[in-house]
Structure 1
Amino acid sequence: MATDDPKTLVSTDWLAAHLKDPDLRILDGTLFMPDEGRDARAEYEAAHIPGARFFDIDAISDARSELPHMVPPVEKFMSRLRAMGVGDGHQVVVYDAKGLFSAARVWWLFRLMGQDNIAVLDGGFPKWQAEGRPIEDLPPMIRDRHMTVRRQNHMVRDVTQVSAASKLGDHEILDARAAARFRGDAPEPRDGLRAGHIPGARNVPYTALLNDDKTMKDPDSLRAVFAAAGVDMAKPVITSCGSGVTAAVINLALERIGKTDHALYDGSWTEWGASQALPVATGEA
């Protein structure tokens, strides 16, 4: 079992023990891909961990961007979280309905906004349910709480910065997509995207960082995954994936092993793969 850390990852045992803490706030950060045919909000309303609020990743994003769920403006993040009753002084725990998938994106977004007291629930809602722990279908009682945001710009990268890193080779670019998509052997789920990966990137599928029960592997096992992928830990890391969601699983894993110089490419392959002006590599890294 992973060591509980309220800034990265906590177990279902930890959450159960702290469930009634007055300053605990629980978020359901479930996001389903369009082809899954599931409604995250409807599933939340039908059953969730007691007191949980629904964090809508698509809604709490930059509506001005044509790319999916890009980082929202600071003001929008603050106002949405305040309306959810989440703010300064709260310990936040975020989970999702797939085990460990989109919750990591919410964790990274909070960290980007300068909020450190947030952890992902290891194993998520499936593990919580499998253990017979309490669930409810009631909306939470909301009280406004002010949130102070100090955006940490070093934690996010745009296409220009990633292009420079690709050319210079001074960062490790880690792609969380499945190996077949990384190699260019499998088609992209979104229309109009080329197959392949950013030149110089290495493939670390987010699933390789998880156990069979969708909990995160222990730190020594995580280090072994990165070593097997040929990652030079002396370099800063930029993570990427399809649309900036599972990339955050890599960021979380890096934080778990004590590596803090990592950032996320928000546009990810949805942006890079759509641009004819950017180079694409295929095959193994």
Structure 2
Amino acid sequence: MTLTQIISPLVSCQALKHLLRAPPRQITVLEADIGKQCYSDFQAGHLPQARYFDQLECTTPTAFIPRGLPDMNCFEGYLTRLGISNTHHIVLYDRSPTGFFASGRAWCLLKGAFTEWQQRAPTDMIIKGDGKSV
């Protein structure tokens, strides 16, 4: 059984606490935010083992697109410097009131998103219906 098969796409605080205490796995926790100015919040306190993920790293702002997509080679290097490879499972969080502002953008920057999940996940791992509010 792979790690993907035993971990839900949405990880509760309790489940993450358990995962971080379990034997070493290829799990990386990222606090996603937009810009280096938010790093002081990260330094003031963050989840255990979290790394700060600046989504503006490797981007070149323009007048029309201030927060564009990163340069692919630079972005791959940035992820490598954070200690992330394509074998890691990533847990994203942010500090927004909903917990899904910066982390949502970070999720989209990483490979696949929902389309890849639909193509590769077992059919019982695609949930339909209203689901639970978190």
Q: TM-score, normalised by structure 2?
A: 0.68
Amino acid at match of 2:78: R
Q: How does 1:70-219 map to 2 (within 5 A)?
A: 70-98=68-96, 99-111=99-111, 219=129
- Counterpart secondary structure, 1:72: coil
* Partner residue, 1:18: 19
Bigger radius of gyration among the two = 1
Q: Is the 8 A contact 1:59 1:69 kept in 2?
A: no
Distance 2:67 2:26 in 1: 28
* Cα-to-partner distance string for 1:150-204 (whole Å, 9 max, x where unaligned): xxxxxxxxxxxxxxxxxxxxxxxxxxxxxxxxxxxxxxxxxxxxxxxxxxxxxxx
Seen in structure 2, the aligned counterparts of structure 1 residues 5 and 221 have a Cα distance that, compared at 3 Å, is closer
Give the 4+ runs in structure 1 shifted more than 4 A: none
- Counterpart secondary structure, 2:91: strand
* Partner residue, 1:160: none
Distance 1:219 1:69 in 2: 33
- Counterpart secondary structure, 1:17: helix
User: Which of 47, 50, 58 is equivalent to 1:49?
Assistant: 47
Distance 1:220 1:19 in 2: 29
Give the superposition deviation at 1:94: 0.7
Distance 2:129 2:75 in 1: 31
Give the superposition deviation at 1:31: 3.3
Amino acid at match of 2:108: W
Give the superposition deviation at 1:64: 6.1
* Cα-to-partner distance string for 1:62-92 (whole Å, 9 max, x where unaligned): x164412211121111000001101121110
Seen in structure 2, the aligned counterparts of structure 1 residues 64 and 105 have a Cα distance that, compared at 3 Å, is closer
* Partner residue, 1:220: 130
Amino acid at match of 1:42: S
- Counterpart secondary structure, 2:16: helix
Seen in structure 2, the aligned counterparts of structure 1 residues 82 and 22 have a Cα distance that, compared at 3 Å, is same
Distance 1:221 1:89 in 2: 28
- Counterpart secondary structure, 2:48: coil
Seen in structure 2, the aligned counterparts of structure 1 residues 31 and 74 have a Cα distance that, compared at 3 Å, is closer
Give the superposition deviation at 1:13: 1.7
Seen in structure 2, the aligned counterparts of structure 1 residues 110 and 28 have a Cα distance that, compared at 3 Å, is same
Extract unaligned runs of 5+ from structure 1. 33-38, 118-217, 223-285
Amino acid at match of 1:82: T
**Greater helix content:** 2
Amino acid at match of 1:73: D
Extract unaligned runs of 5+ from structure 2. 1-6, 118-127
Q: Is the 8 A contact 2:57 2:75 kept in 1?
A: no
- Counterpart secondary structure, 2:74: helix
Amino acid at match of 1:22: R
Does residue 5 (structure 1) correspond to residue 4 (structure 2)? The answer is no
Select the structure with the greater relative contact order (CA < 8 A; seq sep ≥ 6): 2
